[in-house]
Structure 1
């Protein structure tokens, strides 16, 4: 449901990378799978219907019962146009997070609904919209690959699904469903289509790959938005059965090259690129006609963007001295609240962290805003906290902790703040808090548990106005703090109403009655709605300056949101006709009965084993050296508690088989993992026989069992991220089957419980979209290995690894300095556990005690080049490096290698994810008698 639903791609990446790994020999990949656990304190229950298993925390019982009564209706609706009834599926109702999201996945087959509704969305109940969208994905899965099932083929099914269908198609089809099968949906929101519409009206007719895969320098439609128009255009031109026809043909021969584009060509005569061009042309004509009909007005705009890249100044508010406050967002900078003077010069006040939606409030020299805080250990638990910043004393403090507060607003003339509160049970209220202590003063539950969004105070601080969302539409709801009574000022609007604001007997708000987002006002005495702006693309976030009588707002432009204003005395738009009330009342088709379904506890321990797939890898892409494709049987439980792997590989380098069994358990505070391997090993040794010394090859097999404990922790403060943790591991190895009897007396047949410890601490500031590294960062890791329990083996290894990030000369440049040190003895005398100088494997072997590595990276260009269907290049970047080895007193301080690198960020084969980072490094060996002075190394990485 989120704009970026990564779950579909994670297993697809495994198959693609496994193919790449079989033909590549010098590639390094990063870890990509994130199976964050749920907190162990959650007590899970389940409801089983004919077609669904709902698994949910006990605190969400009422919400689960309500959803169970509606799922059968939704299932029937979303299945009709695909002529496929989906199999029973497990749905996890996730109420431990404050984010609004959802996903469907295979391997294991399940869906996850994040139950907390958003502070900005469409005009219907969140869970209904979410259920329609995600159930459409369930039908898509079963339509295309439903015959591939657990316990062996779910991962194969997901890989075929992801490789066959472009993400714009399956997400666009789901958005079409949520729009067609409800009274709301994102397809009805002008704000949702606005970036695409603005581009086309500006003549920015980007190609298919740029519109689909995105850009680092321009605003493009996301694949959800693009997919909605491409898919809805198909249904409009060829009927609602076209999606069924496409998927039926693809399912019959899933290995057909370019399956989707080939099928699209067969039924429509267009391939994907041609269809994109046609829809783009049709939309341009439609939106040009709409623009001419609306006859928009021009409003003053500032500040003037200087970078030429997307940049926004959101939520303008006036200060007593006439300057403006705004939340500045840019691809070149992390978000920050800034002050803007009359000349457009901005001064940063405070950087902010990640938010569910942009917001902040100001009163009496104090700023308030909310931010996401992830639980330090259990990633499925996420909070939303209130932050305060005093602009007079330049001090910051976090007001609430482990809270679920949204859109906080400071109360005029009092040390209090009001925020929307949504608890784990889904109960919604406006909470009044003390800004000195954070203590709850009063709670005001909403009538009928209606969702409230983005509240605002009146001049007196006695009343609060907010948007209310239900299946009857959007409303304007007012709370009188003195009496605790809510009243509805405007109800049943088929509109995305946002950011209501008091203004001299009127309520300003954003809506889209004329098909474009504009600022409107409600006369509270007469109940009349008037249009106040008539912009080209969209107007948002109204703010009324009581001192000057001006209305400030954001106006969307081709490169982001700018600030604009008008006088409140300006006449309303004359051609706007207020809608008749009966035409604005959303009617829900809910005919479900209030049945109470039997529920029972869901026991994690009874459901830990869940084999679902045979795979060619075990999911570990930390380093190419650790990858050994084989055959693995995978088990993952539905709640990310236990991961079990059974595997077989054949190592061609040593001509030997290897058997693997591993299990990891995340429920406890430390993460525990146990692994067993039976593998062949090879080595060489010198022996003396009758006075003659010779080199012989050794072969043996061994049983190796490893136990590991990890405690990973994460903390946040504003735009700072802190990660720390500790791990410990031990193992037992039993060797047998030595091929050389002459070496038996010196052969160590067992290694008993060596210990390995690691402790690390990292602090990095949040990166902007264009940053090549954190502007500031300090990273430390200490590792120690030894043999305390085995008297026959001696050896110690201590290593220190550090990384320090600094700002570059220009914006988005990055300077990285790394110092690494190791001490080794005994068995570990030849082991290296620190980063080595560039090109080390092509240099003269020298024992490494320490390394000092410097690198400077910078962006070169943002070409957005489509190289046919093979690659789409978003960015070129360069860098310089100088690597030192064994730095100590008495040694000349000169680099052992130095050189330059050229890299590029790209998408391959038109896949939206992963984003690949491919490059070449030219290395100069700065030492005497080097075999080669200049040579090249190559690398490939990815992210998602």
Structure 2
């Protein structure tokens, strides 16, 4: 919920506030260029801020938000606070969030083309009914102690309080329930979403509640989204529509200081928290159907050591399979399987989607490519990989193409184009150079997904209609004509694959994602699988099909012979899918909300980027010995200005200070300025008391560049800061001292490059980073400090082991130590500060245990890991003629934990073994001593 001043691709590593998709998000600082112009719809309920050209989506969002604000049937309370909603249309990421500090929401408007994960509703509409539910949560959780924290310290501490009192599963479960209640779809009706817990139950996985809350680094554990939906839906089913409003009101007020949510459950459900969750799971277990035997054969052995997913199999001939493999221990890569162990073809480039197509020895897929400077702007580019040579070429650049396929003759690629304006079209491209051959017409304003060639003049595609229904459509390339192969329904369908006259595909017609086939000539539908966890990415050849089956051990490649297992299936137009589990409260007839809400036309005005630049949202104290600090924090809604105004008290010097720092990210460079006025400093000079006030001022710039491409995350940042210090003498002796002022410059450059990390990787399997900084006086004094450091990451003996080589060099002026020491010494020694120093370190990191164990819903241990290290530091005399080595070795042990099922903290301890004497601390070579390693900041500034 706090703003992060980082490039957007770091969303892969961060936990966001309330986000819509399964991908985490971050509040991007300075992510849009100044050339992007904005408009607004400003009402008493919401301010929708949007780029020019997004008027219709903004109007629909405002209409739905006003209608939801009036809806009292399933409300969490009656409190209403106005919120800012920003529509972001430049990114290819499909997401959304609501955050406090400041109170705002952002919608990432490019829809996901994975029909089974997020459904087929209009994406902006689905975002609205999901994200505004989070707004209603934040509005109505301002009670009791939570409200007091918000009043005393602002929105960030309000967020801390309500997150401590209400579990994350409720936030997302309640929002998913809302999207299900207010539409004919929503994830509460999607089998892929609902099958996750039945997959665990069917395979006898009996995980503890804390493991279900916190996840695992080895086993598949559903996220808090499906967990929350099952709990919320059960609570409403058994205890009525007002149950959760009562529970959350008392919990957010901290009625019962410890475990307030659990206590509120006990009060209003009449059973304790553990019983409530057990009864909820039992409720769904009794509903789920048994799975019949379907004659399926696993193609590859099941991996029991860690989660492994084998996706999008293609039968390439002679019993060979091409597929994508992702695991908790390996980076995503393409594999070919013939006999024995699958052979790796190549690691996949960084991608947002696992989809790829294969034909005639070539793989085509879409890869993620961010813009160099602007974090809200990124692209989806096409790559073509030759499986024989392992060589890959970039087919398109700076495009937004998705779900490509290669024509039978290999000359053409078809891909779905999504534009920032929200239009969707099928593009035919040259497979040689990626040039556009033809754009197929889309007069129905459809969204095409997963196109597949039937022949050189026809293709079949899953099609989303504007009202959220889906069908398979056949497109004639020469004419652009579209005819339906299956009737439109609210069931999701996708992943078609053509074999002779038959199109094989996955659909949720029966409440499960099953494999079907349809004849292109007669349009008769047959069902091939029936129940049992979901079947995806079907590929047919001769008399058998291969597909990925969703299980508790990951997606398994399964082969099934056709024949008696295929049965006719009769599908009617507008047929509603069967429900896996009943949805509470659907009798209130709100499933037509999206269609029945009248369109209100709101007035639109220009929104200037300088609007409310100073937007203070939080204020709080911070203490780090010897300084006490009280700060006001601010961010404007477009997140281009970050502010901190503060008071500072130094208890050692007994001084007071006032300061301001501002960082502006709305232009190509970040611009920063800061000033601090310190009062009543004093010192004794030649037996006289000198008193003065000190004004420190800084101005600078830096340019953060995201050069990520291919399989590497790459970031470059460089800049300069100018510092000015003025000292103003005060007190009775002020005329006895000269006024002191001086300036200095700081220049820096940093570079980092690394491959993607799998879930179990402690550090990347390959990567490096380097930073260089030079500070030097400009006026008054002579002095400088040069600092260079870097790290190299290499693979260890096993896939989840890491070797880290580190080095740092520092040199300063010998006449005056004008700048503070920035070199951390060899572990186990005092930090020395000589005119020249360097240090090298060798580290070997490895996991020791993956316990997945916790106690009392307080602390959960995901991983215990170790590190063996060797440090060599060398310090030099001022004339550089003498030097001394400081060497140490030892071991470190780290515990990767979650506290209160939400907050990730790593702590540990270190055993140091000195190989040299430490003269300052009187430690001798051979001594061993023990250190506790704590997080740098448990509560960030």
1:763 corresponding residue in structure 2 = 753
Aligned pair 1:722/2:714, yes or no? yes
Cα–Cα, structure 1 residues 9 and 283, in superposed 2: closer, same or farther, change >3 Å? closer
Q: Equivalent of 1:833, from 804, 811, 822?
A: 822
- Residues 151 and 613, structure 1, Cα contact 8 Å, conserved in 2: no
CA 1:828–1:223 in structure 2 vs 1: closer, same or farther (change >3 Å)?
same
1:171-195 CA-to-partner distances (Å, cap 9, x unmatched) read 1111111111110011111211222
Secondary structure (helix, strand or coil) at the match of 2:698 reads strand
Aligned twin of 1:614: 619
1:936 corresponds to 2:930: yes
Counterpart in the other structure of 2:122: 125
Shift of 1:806: 1.0
Pair 1:347–1:613, CA change in 2 (3 A): same
- The answer on 1:561 being equivalent to 2:555 is yes
Distance 1:33 1:858, change over 3 A: farther
1:811 to 799, 812, 815: 799
Q: CA deviation at 1:907?
A: 0.2
Query: Within 2, Cα distance between the matches of 1:79 and 1:742?
Result: 72
Contact 1:472–1:587 (Cα < 8 Å) also in 2: no
Using the TM superposition, give the Cα deviation of residue 856 of structure 1 relative to its aligned residue in structure 2, in angstroms: 0.8
1:66 Cα deviation from its structure 2 partner:
3.5
* 2:95 is equivalent to residue 101 of structure 1: yes
Structure 1 residue 388 corresponds to structure 2 residue 384 = yes
Q: Which of 306, 310, 313 matches 2:307?
A: 310
Give the CA deviation at 1:850. Answer: 0.7
Partner of residue 598, structure 1: 603
Task: Please report how far the alpha carbon of residue 371 of structure 1 lies from its aligned counterpart in structure 2 after TM superposition.
Answer: 1.7
- CA gap 1:359/1:135 in 2 versus in 1, 3 angstroms: same
Residue number among 357, 360, 364 corresponding to 1:364 in the alignment: 360
Q: Distance in 1 between matches of 2:684 and 2:435?
A: 72
1:243 maps to what in 2?
244
Q: Tell me, which stretches of 5 or more residues in structure 1 are unaligned? A: 11-31, 618-623, 690-695
853, 860, 872: which one pairs with 1:865? 853
Match of 1:919 in 2: 908
1:391-410, CA deviations, whole angstroms, 9 ceiling, x for partnerless residues?
34432222222211111112
Deviation at 1:698, TM superposition (A): 7.2
What is the CA distance between 1:804 and its match in structure 2? Answer: 0.9
Q: C-alpha distance in 2, partners of 1:3/1:804? A: 21
Corresponding position of 1:444: 440
TM-score, normalized by length of structure 1? 0.89
Deviation sequence 1:351-394 (CA, Å, 0-9, x none):
12333321111223222111222222121212211112223443
What is the DSSP-based 3-state SS (H/G/I as helix, E as strand, rest coil) of the residue aligned with 1:59? Answer: coil
Q: Is the 8 A contact 2:655 2:681 kept in 1?
A: no
Q: Measured at CA, do residues 366 and 524 of structure 1 come closer, stay the same or move farther in structure 2, by a change above 3 Å?
A: closer
Shift of 1:296: 3.5
Q: Is the 8 A contact 1:338 1:348 kept in 2?
A: yes
Q: Give the secondary structure class of the aligned counterpart of 2:487.
A: strand
- C-alpha change, 1:882 and 1:741, in structure 2 (3 Å) is farther
Corresponding residue number in structure 1 for 2:670: 671
Q: What is the Cα-based RMSD across aligned positions, in Å? A: 3.1
1:503 paired with 2:491, answer no
Q: How far apart in 1 are the matches of 2:709 and 2:318?
A: 30
Write the mapping of 1:338-737 to structure 2, written as runs, cut at 5 A.
Answer: 338-343=335-340, 345-460=341-456, 462-534=458-530, 536-545=532-541, 548-568=542-562, 570-574=563-567, 578-584=570-576, 590-593=595-598, 596-616=601-621, 630-679=629-678, 687=686, 700-737=692-729
Distance 1:890 1:557 in 2: 67
Q: Does 1:82 align with 2:76?
A: yes
1:780 aligns with 2:770: yes
1:21 is aligned to none
Give 2:67's aligned residue: 73
Deviation at 1:78, TM superposition (A): 7.2
Contact kept, 8 Å, 1:150 with 1:613, in 2: the verdict is no
Q: 1:518 to 1:756 in 2, by over 3 A?
A: same
- Using the alignment, how far apart are the partners of 1:363 and 1:295 within structure 2? 34
Given the alignment, which residue of 714, 738, 741 partners 1:750?
741
Distance 1:224 1:854 in 2: 41
Deviations 1:205-229 (CA, angstroms, capped at 9, x unpaired): 2111110111111111110110111
SS of the counterpart of 1:927? coil
**Alignment length (residue pairs):** 895
Please name the residue that 2:204 is paired with: 203
Q: Distance in 1 between matches of 2:694 and 2:272?
A: 55
Shift of 1:7: 4.1
Does the 8 Å contact 2:656/2:680 carry over to 1? no
Residue 8 of structure 1 aligns with which residue?
17
Task: Say whether the 8 Å CA contact 1:471–1:588 is kept in structure 2.
Answer: no
Which runs of 5 or more residues in structure 2 are unaligned? 2-10, 20-25, 578-590
Contact 1:612 1:634 in 2 (8 A): yes
Separation in 1, partners of 2:441, 2:205: 47
Q: Closer, same or farther in 2 for the Cα pair 1:594/1:809, shift >3 Å?
A: same
Correspondence 1:839-918 to 2 at 5 A: 839-841=828-830, 849-886=837-874, 896-910=887-901, 912=902, 914-918=903-907
* 1:101-125 per-position Cα deviation (integer Å, ceiling 9, x unaligned): 1111222121111111111121322
Q: Aligned residue for 1:156?
A: 157
1:18 corresponds in structure 2 to none
Give, in angstroms, the shift of residue 846 of structure 1: 6.0
In the aligned structure 2, how far is the partner of 1:679 from the partner of 1:902? 42
Q: Deviations for 1:706-756, whole angstroms, at most 9, x for unmatched residues?
A: 1121101112222211111211101111123578959965x772122x111
- Is the contact between residue 413 and residue 461 of structure 1 (CA under 8 Å) also seen in structure 2? no
Structure 1 residues 504, 572: closer, same or farther in 2, change over 3 A? farther
Q: What does residue 319 of structure 1 align with? A: 316
* Inter-partner Cα distance in structure 1 for 2:78 and 2:231: 22
SS of equivalent to 1:804: strand
Seen in structure 2, the aligned counterparts of structure 1 residues 917 and 810 have a Cα distance that, compared at 3 Å, is same
Task: Determine if contact 1:311/1:330 at 8 Å carries over to the other structure.
Answer: yes
Q: Which residue of 1 aligns with 2:189?
A: 188
Q: CA 1:33/1:732 → structure 2, altered by over 3 Å: closer, same or farther?
A: farther
Distance 1:869 1:505, change over 3 A: same
Cα displacement (A) at 1:851: 0.6
Checking the alignment, whether the CA contact within 8 Å between 1:78 and 1:132 is kept in structure 2 is no
Spell out, residue by residue over 1:649-673, the C-alpha distance to the aligned partner (whole angstroms, 9 max, x if none).
3223333222111211101111011
Shift of 1:897: 1.4
Rate the CA distance shift 1:3–1:877 in 2: closer, same or farther, 3 A.
Answer: closer
Matched, 1:297 2:304: no
CA deviations on 1:819-856 (whole Å, 9 max, x unpaired) are 21122104446742334211333x77766511111111
The alignment partner of 2:530 has SS state of coil
Give the distance between the partners of 1:105 and 1:426, measured in 2 at CA: 25
Maintained 8 Å contact 2:445/2:466? no
Q: Deviations over 1:326-349 (max 9, x none)?
A: 111000011011111133x11111
| Structure 2: distance between partners of 1:511 and 1:629 | 60
**Corresponding residue SS for 2:826:** coil
In 2, the alpha carbon distance for the partners of 1:512 and 1:390 equals: 34
SS in 2 for 1:67: helix
Calculate the TM-score normalised by the size of structure 2.
0.89
SS at match of 1:157: helix
Distance change in 2, residues 1:394/1:674 (3 Å): same
Contact persistence 1:632–1:647 (CA under 8 A): yes
Question: Whole-Å Cα distance in 2 between the matches of residues 662 and 742 of structure 1?
Answer: 30
